[in-house]
Chains A and B, each alone.
Chain A
Amino acid sequence: DAGVTQSPTHLIKTRGQQVTLRCSPKSGHDTVSWYQQALGQGPQFIFQYYEEEERQRGNFPDRFSGHQFPNYSSELNVNALLLGDSALYLCASQAWGGTNEQFFGPGTRLTVL
């Protein structure tokens, strides 16, 4: 049983560019949340998707957007990259109707130069 998978593992971009990160949830899960984790910090909630709609959103600018597909996989898009966007981006999945247990993928390390 595959857990949460994310791609790519690492990514290097320059300021102003755009990036797309991908996530496939754990089997049986239909809800995907995205988190940003700066070095030495705890994860910060970006947004959550269920039934292909954004259900919750954290305190992140509109440069951060997402999408969920019918197979429950999800994308995180970040436009006009800033140096401060450098972080580990984590995807977590859960079952909407279940407990609040969220399972995380290995993350995508984004470096903005």
Chain B
Amino acid sequence: QQQVKQSPQSLIVQKGGISIINCAYENTAFDYFPWYQQFPGKGPALLIAIRPDVSEKKEGRFTISFNKSAKQFSLHIMDSQPGDSATYFCAASPQSNRKLIWGLGTSLAVNP
């Protein structure tokens, strides 16, 4: 049973466009929602994270939107660049055990 469902599996965006990746979760005990970026052969790098007490968080070109009632959160990458081409993972965890539960990942390709 996939506790964190991520979509789409892959995404192609033109340079300068907006990339949108969505995640949905079931466990209402989750209270921490990070997004990670991973390049081939490298470990995941923390991009941005949000807690359910806010509906949106922005850091540079990256924005998380959070909908607590729908149990959904999404990553928006504005002005997408070829260097953003990577695999993006959403994750979730409850503060009680600090165990991250991951989505299956989205492979993003930004065409020049």
Give 6 CB contacts A-B under 8 Å.
Answer: A33-B99, A42-B103, A48-B98, A102-B98, A106-B42, A107-B42
CA distance A35 to B98 in the complex (A): 13
Would you call B102 and A42 a contact (CB within 8 A)?
yes
Would you call A90 and B99 a contact (CB within 8 A)?
no
Would you call A41 and B104 a contact (CB within 8 A)?
yes
Would you call A101 and B34 a contact (CB within 8 A)?
yes
Residues of B within 8 A of A45 (CB): 99-101
Residues of A within 8 A of B103 (CB): 42
Interface size class of A (residues with CB under 8 A): 20 to 34
Bits for B58-85, please: 1 = Cβ < 8 Å to A, else 0.
0000000000000000000000000000
CA distance A83 to B78 in the complex (A): 41
Partner of A102, one of B95, B97, B100, B104: B100
Whether A31 is near chain B, meaning CB under 8 Å from some CB there, is yes
Further pairs besides A33-B99, A48-B98, A104-B44: 11, Cβ < 8 Å:
A4-B43, A40-B105, A42-B102, A90-B43, A94-B98, A99-B32, A100-B93, A101-B46, A102-B46, A103-B46, A107-B41
Q: Which of A44-98 contact B (CB under 8 A)?
A: 44-45, 48, 56, 58, 90, 92, 94, 96
Interface size class of B (residues with CB under 8 A): 20 to 34
Q: Which of B30-46 contact A (CB under 8 A)?
A: 32, 34, 36, 41-46
Would you call A100 and B98 a contact (CB within 8 A)?
yes
Partner of B89, one of A6, A42, A94, A109: A42
In the complex, residue of chain A having the shortest beta-carbon distance to the beta carbon of B49: A101
